Amino acid sequence: MMSSSLRSIEKELPLLSQDEQLWLIERVAKQLRKTQQREVFAASMEAMANDPEIQAENRRIAEEFSVTDGDGLEGL
């Protein structure tokens, strides 16, 4: 089912010049790529967060820096 916004765009398309239609297509493509990049990035971050080797390394780093826990810099 098409939204009213999409129907409105479809109705107005014939009124646009070829350059304007091309601009619109490019903007839609750019938006789709940006959305896809965000989804790929989020999936990569989730995979890293669930990786046992990454989790083990994070624990090692946290342990190594645990001596700084009492340095009073938490609120900065």
- Tell me, what's the pLDDT at 66? 87
The neighbour count for residue 21, using CB atoms within 10 Å, is 13
- Residue 36 domain-assigned (yes or no): yes
- In the prediction, which pLDDT does 76 show? 63
Determine, yes or no, domain membership for 21.
Answer: no
Structural domain includes residue 53: yes
Exposure string for 40-63, b = 16+ CB within 10 A, e = fewer = eeeeeeeeeeeeeeeeeeeeeeee
Domain count within the chain = 1
On the question of pLDDT at 75 being above 70, the answer is no
Q: Report yes or no: 55 and 62 within 8 Å, Cβ to Cβ.
A: no
The answer to whether residue 6 sits within a structural domain is no
Our measurement of the distance from residue 61's CA atom to the centroid of its chain's CA atoms, rounded to an integer in Å, reads: 27
Residue 18: inside a domain, yes or no?
Answer: no
For residue 74, name the pLDDT band (cuts at 50, 70, 90). Answer: confident
Domain interval for residue 43: 32-65
pLDDT, mean over the chain: 92
Distances (CA, A) of 42 to 19, 33, 49, 61, 70: 35, 14, 10, 23, 33
